[in-house]
């Protein structure tokens, strides 16, 4: 083997560079490259191409200024999605989209981390960092999604066991890594909290429908370490703090990155936009207050379940105790669980549960997982 063959390729992968600049997620940029929309030094780029600071990159004929990469920032928004909104930027039918309410970032654009269908409500996240979006959605990082679901029909233990063991859907096998019954519901309507490890299209609905049941309400309440709390009402968004973004970054092996300093005038404008973002929600449309994980987890030091996957997590606001004379300041709209340091950036990570006291009751942390 020659010396040139032994050397590692120069530069970074093209899609990674463009994703870090916030143009789109890596998956979207790979599609752009396949479609011939990206050129490097005047030639149509191919997947796997590497670039450095001396290369000229153009997307759809527009030259990308390389200094934009130095100005890229890692901002993250969380949004409580109402039903009736779709997860796309432009809709030919003119329906409202999840981007309509969001503030316009100064640099880059918002990239949605995963999607929810038009009739599903709850937690949705956006970031200006395409690499962060890619890792949070990639199966190798095993970001679990927890949903509150109301099903119509008679549910028995055999159905629950089948859904946890795995059933065959039209696009392959699928399963819930955990299911717990939640308070609420009457007659043939029952509430459950369930966890999936993938973001396949309508996966939660299709799993329940495979058992002859109908999903009448579906709401995402957690994505990885991020919980949707009652402070963030439907239709409102909130930007994560520096500490919260750092925790989320460490979950997928990215180094912390400082948020830009925001001027007082800009901050006031964002606050006004945030207050105006919510639309009134009728009494009958509000999710019931009983939607929360069932209690009664295992004792401290015991595993919450012996199988693979992640159990339903205790919500942080349900487990914190107020100290007399020293009120705890709530974080509006999101709660993240601290975790130990993870593997270096770029390496697939094996999830570890949060330490007791960081948003969870001792013993209610999530179990170990293997790739599905």
How far apart are alpha carbons 14 and 30 in whole angstroms?
Answer: 9
- C-beta atoms surrounding 126 within 10 Å: 21
How far apart are alpha carbons 295 and 360 in whole angstroms?
Answer: 12
How far apart are alpha carbons 368 and 363 in whole angstroms?
Answer: 13
CA atoms within 13 A on the CB side of 334: 25
Active site residue 117: yes
Sign of CA dihedral 15, 21, 23, 28: positive
Give CA angle at 20 (142, 80), nearest 5°: 55
Asked whether the beta carbons of 14 and 40 are under 8 A apart, the reply is yes
How far apart are alpha carbons 300 and 161 in whole angstroms?
Answer: 25
Catalytic annotation, pick one of 34, 52, 117, 271: 117
97: DSSP letter? B
Q: Strands 62-64, 57-59: parallel, antiparallel or unpaired by DSSP?
A: antiparallel
Write out the two tokens for 45: 């780029």
How far apart are alpha carbons 131 and 125 in whole angstroms?
Answer: 14
Asked whether the beta carbons of 349 and 342 are under 8 A apart, the reply is yes
3-state secondary structure of 288: coil
- C-beta atoms surrounding 182 within 10 Å: 20
Which of 206, 216, 183 is closest to 289 using CA atoms? 183
Q: Which DSSP string corresponds to 302-345?
A: S-S-SSSS-PPPPPHHHH--PBTTBPPPPPSSEEE------SPT
Please provide residue 38's backbone torsions phi and psi, each rounded to the nearest 5 degrees: -115, 135
How far apart are alpha carbons 242 and 258 in whole angstroms?
Answer: 7
- Catalytic residue numbers, as ranges: 117
């Amino acid at each position: 083997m020659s010396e040139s063959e032994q050397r590692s390729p120069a530069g970074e992968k093209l899609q990674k560079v463009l994703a870090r600049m916030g143009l789109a997620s890596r998956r979207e940029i790979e599609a752009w490259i396949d479609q011939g929309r990206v050129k490097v030094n005047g030639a149509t780029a191919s997947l796997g191409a590497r670039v450095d600071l001396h290369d000229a990159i153009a997307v759809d004929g527009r030259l990308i200024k390389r200094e934009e990469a130095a100005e890229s920032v890692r901002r993250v928004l969380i949004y409580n999605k109402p039903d009736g909104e779709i997860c796309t930027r432009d809709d030919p039918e003119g329906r409202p989209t999840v981007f309509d309410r969001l503030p316009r970032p100064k640099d880059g654009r918002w990239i949605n981390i995963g999607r929810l269908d038009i009739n599903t409500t709850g937690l949705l996240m956006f970031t200006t960092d395409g690499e962060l979006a890619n890792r949070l959605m990639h199966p190798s990082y095993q970001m679990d999604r927890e949903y509150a679901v109301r099903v119509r029909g008679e549910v028995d233990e055999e159905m629950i066991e089948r859904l946890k063991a795995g059933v065959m859907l039209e696009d392959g096998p699928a399963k819930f890594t955990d299911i717990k019954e939640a308070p609420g519901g009457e007659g043939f309507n029952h509430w459950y909290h369930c966890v999936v490890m993938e973001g396949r299209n309508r996966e939660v609905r299709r799993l329940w429908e495979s058992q002859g049941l109908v999903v009448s309400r579906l709401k995402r309440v957690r994505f990885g370490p991020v919980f949707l709390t009652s402070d963030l009402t439907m239709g409102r968004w909130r930007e994560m703090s520096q500490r919260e973004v750092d925790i989320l970054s460490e979950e997928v092996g990215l180094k912390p990155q400082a948020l830009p300093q925001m001027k007082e005038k800009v901050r006031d404008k964002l606050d006004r936009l945030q207050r105006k973002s919510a639309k009134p929600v009728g009494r009958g449309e509000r999710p019931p207050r009983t939607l929360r994980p069932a209690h009664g987890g295992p004792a401290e030091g015991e595993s919450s379940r012996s199988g693979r996957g992640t159990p339903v997590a205790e919500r942080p606001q349900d487990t914190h105790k107020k100290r007399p004379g020293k009120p705890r300041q709530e974080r509006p709209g999101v709660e993240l669980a601290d975790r130990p340091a993870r593997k270096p950036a770029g390496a697939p990570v094996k999830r570890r549960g949060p330490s007791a006291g960081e948003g969870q009751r001792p013993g209610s942390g999530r179990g170990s997982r293997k790739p599905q």
